[in-house]
Amino acid sequence: MLAVTMGDPAGIGGELTLAAWRQRANLDIPPFVAVDDPVRLRRLADVLGWDVPLRTVETPASAADCFADALPVLPVSLAHPAEAGRADPRNAPAVIASIDRAVELASAGLVAAVVTQPIHKATLYGSGFGFPGHTEYLAHLTQAAEPSIMMLAGGGLRVVPITVHEPLATAISRLDATMIETMARRVAVALQRDFGITSPRLALAGLNPHAGEDGALGGEEVRFIRPAADRLRAEGLRLSGPHAPDSMFHAAARAGYDAALCLYHDQALIPLKTLAFDEGVNITLGLSIVRTSPDHGTAFDIAGKGVANPASFIAALREARTIADRRAGR
């Protein structure tokens, strides 16, 4: 049993939850319980004209008993009725409470994993939410000893951005060898633990065009990126690079590694979303619990219309189940 959070109630998360339950039999979707407001889900299903029976439950165990016949919901009440496409700060506490409850269940071993629907960060920030996003908040809730890691997967590609949600100039200015080496070691361990890859192969991207052309097009590769890669190889890590970023994501190149270490957000997400825009999955590494998420946002512009593609959410459910089973030795 997985726990699915509410996400922003004005976004597409609710209809993705409903759509996945409707396709449960045809697409081998693992059982899940929605940590959500049953009133808003009922209204949404009625607006969309979807026949989705709901059943309010008190525990994940009771959710497992009814999943085949009804969508189980662990109730979290909204302060104000949700309006599709219009984020409402009054509902921010319920969004956060949904995440808190799902993580609590996973930490207690009552659900196997958490799958988070997209949040609208600006709305949460306006309500005093003090974290850059889901990833950092989950690390806080689980009392992670080290910062959590964002991995994106889809289309036969796994990418990990070493710097994430910050201005590009800031990301480049603070990038150093220690960050690269620490991330590479932790990703290698996660690939073994969560993906069953005995001897992970990592590919490190360069920062500058052509990976710097030996310093002619930028000095970062010479000063600290290549030395970091050399030290990692000396430790025994199967790491290649730094590679020219423009030639490491085609099919033949992807066959040579299990995950790409990228130096900034868009360097990782542009190839991933090009290959798997509808089916990409966000996976948080380094947590005591399993967490995945669809790799897209709230999509306010299409919310409530029933046209949102649930493929990424369904892929996130499946990936969560796979990782949880692997951790459990199944």
Give me the number of domains the chain comprises: 2
Are residues 167 and 271 both part of a single domain?
Answer: yes
User: Which residues touch 70 (CB under 8 Å, ≥6 apart)?
Assistant: 53, 54, 55
171 and 90 fall within a common domain: no
Same domain membership, residue 82 and residue 33: yes
pLDDT in the model for residue 320: 97
Report the pLDDT value the prediction gives residue 58, as an integer from 0 to 100.
Answer: 93
Domain that holds residue 196: 156-278
Domain membership of residue 235 (yes or no) is yes
Element spanning 74, H or E: strand 71-75
Q: What share of the chain is helix, strand, coil (3-state, %, to 5)?
A: 45, 15, 40
Q: Is residue 267 part of a domain?
A: yes
Q: What are phi and psi of 178, to 5 degrees?
A: -60, -40
CATH code, domain carrying 191: 3.40.718.10
Same domain, 196 and 169: yes
Same domain, 109 and 88: yes
| Residues 143 and 161 occupy one common structural domain | no
For residue 83, what is the DSSP state?
B
Average pLDDT, the chain: 95
User: Do 66 and 128 reside in the same domain of the chain?
Assistant: yes
Residues 174 and 142 occupy one common structural domain: no
- Residue 327's alpha-carbon distances to 188, 321, 324, in angstroms, are 16, 10, 5
Looking at residue 202, its pLDDT comes to: 98
Is residue 142 assigned to a domain?
yes
Whether residues 135 and 6 share a domain: the answer is: yes
Tell me the pLDDT band of 129, cut-offs 50, 70 and 90: confident
pLDDT of 330 higher than 80: no
Looking at the structure, do residues 221 and 308 belong to the same domain, yes or no?
no
